[in-house]
Structure formats: structure tokens, C-alpha cells
Amino acid sequence: MKLLLIVFLGLSLNATYGTSFAESQATSAAMTTPETRIKPQVPILWKLETQPAAWLFGTIHIPDPSVNQLPPAAKIIFDQSDYVLTEIPMELSNMTAIAHLMKRTDGKTLKERLPPAIRQRLQHYFNEIGLINGLSVLQDMQIWAVYASLALLEVQIKHPLAKALDANIYETAKKQGKQVGGLETIFEQVNYFKQFSEAEQIELLDDALKVIEYEKITGKSSLDAMITWYREGGKTNLASLMRSISPKNTNKVLEAKLMQLLITQRNKIMAQRIKEKIAQHPDKRLFIAVGAGHLTEQENIPHFLKELGIAATPFQPN
């Protein structure tokens, strides 16, 4: 469950960096005919009671054609906006910076730091999805970076040229001449992982492999479940959904730490920065795109905005 929360709803650094790795490793057999895009039926939207109104839109950090375009109701609001904010600025320069930040600086290799059993399971997974040289390519990466990249590899191989919704929103905004920016920096997002010891990072990777192996046995797909949840507007409880399709033998204490750092703590910070952006640009119509998990959990961004004096109302298009 922890891996899914990061990739699908939490950090957008995967949307910026992950695709480049998959592109470099994908075999020609993985190139598939583009599928028909099926837009989310119900967008996750919140209207902020500001003047002019600002909007929060929930994204999903998956480079899959079924969820990487704005649904019609959200697109209308986006087109009318002047200033578009994503979690981090989705600039090409950030891709290079993230790739650098993911590398080890101590001269050690993944082979040296990972327990043999986990290393073997990781290589087995890479072999299954066609990344025969995956482990050697990742030798100089930090363990948290391997963990954070893991869940998206299959979809990136299947759709090697697709971008995540966040990246498409940012790119379109620039093309339309809108002002663009981010609520966080890539350094801040990376630093959240540095709050985990190497032993904890290894356990996170172990849990991620458990999820992958569990799905192979049960035939359940966390990816499919998450896409369906997102397209339906995030109506059901996300944590309950993830628990229902995840193995029971993962570290719940570490999961709680991850949730606190990557979701709740960041929600509070991003709410404060949204308030500051609104104050700094009083005449701008803001469109703010963040991972859907930041808008649907109990202590979400709208919750913290309310504490800061900004009311937010869920928006349901007709």
C-alpha cells in the first residue's frame, strides 16, 4: 500500500523522472498500439471561496493514456485560469536534477547495500517485465529511489511515450502562455525520503516487492483499482481500498510514518503556500493541480485551508 500512495497520489517527482528510465530500458516488444483515452468520469475538484475563485484539481501520477488528460469539466476551468501550479515545476531541468539527487554519493552500489534475497527478488521482477539490465542500470541509485520508481515501471514500459497528467497540465499551461509554478521544490520532495534510515528504505523496498508478488498470486491489480477509483472521483475510502487488495504482512508502523510525512505534513505546508500564492496574485485565477490523495483524505489540503481562513467546497459538475 505504501508504494501506491507515493506513486499514484503523493509525490510528483516520479512523473518527472520515472518515464526517462523506462524509455531507456523498454524493449521493442513493449511498444504497444496507443489505447483509446478514457477520461475520468468524475473530476476531483474543489472550489476555493476566493475572489476570483481558485480551484484545486486532483491528479494521478501515472503516465497512462486513460488518466493523463483533463476531464471536460476540469478543462473548462483550466482554460479560464491565468496561473497554473503543480506540486513541483515540471521543467525539463528538474528531470536532470532529480536524476542526480537519486544517485548515491557514498561510492556504494545497490548490490553492496541490498540483502541478497531482496536483490534476487528485484532482479526477478525486472526480468518478468523485460528490464533484463534493470539492476545493473540502477546500481548507483539510492534505495529509496528504486523503491519510489518501482510501481510505475510496468505502465511506463507499456506506454513509453506517455506523460503523467501533471506534466501534461504544466506543458499545456506553458503553451497557452499561462503563468506556471510549483508549491514545492524537487529538493523538498527528495528530502522527505532522507528522513528514512537505510534500513527503513530496504524495508520499504521489501514491502513494495511483497505487493508486486501478492498481485501475481491473487491476480488483483493495484494499478487498475487506483485508476478506477480515480476515474470515479475518489468517492470511496482510499485507505480501505488499498488494504483490501494489499498483503497483510507489511510494516504498518513504517506505513504510518510515510503517510504522515508524504501526505499529512505536506498537506499542511501546501495549504499555507496556496494561501500565500493567492495573496501574492490577487487578480489571478489559479488552477492548482496536486495528487488526488492530497484532496480526498481526512486531513487534506482543503481541511488545512479552512484552518487558514479559506473555505473550500467540493465541486460536482452536472
Q: How many CA atoms lie within 13 A of 212 on its CB side?
A: 22
Which single residue is written with the C-alpha cell 528510465?
21
Cα distances from 66 to residues 29, 156, 225, in angstroms, run: 21, 13, 13
Can you give the pLDDT at residue 209?
Answer: 94
Say what angle helices 13-25 and 143-150 make with each other, to 10 degrees: 80
Cα distances from 296 to residues 10, 12, 123, 146, 210, in angstroms, run: 12, 17, 35, 27, 26
Name the pairing type of β-strands 312-315 and 45-48: antiparallel
Does residue 11 carry a pLDDT above 70?
A: no
Q: pLDDT category, 125, cuts 50, 70, 90?
A: very high
Report pTM. Answer: 0.89
DSSP 109-121: -HHHHS-HHHHHH
Rg (CA), the chain: 19
Q: Average pLDDT, stretch 266-271? A: 98
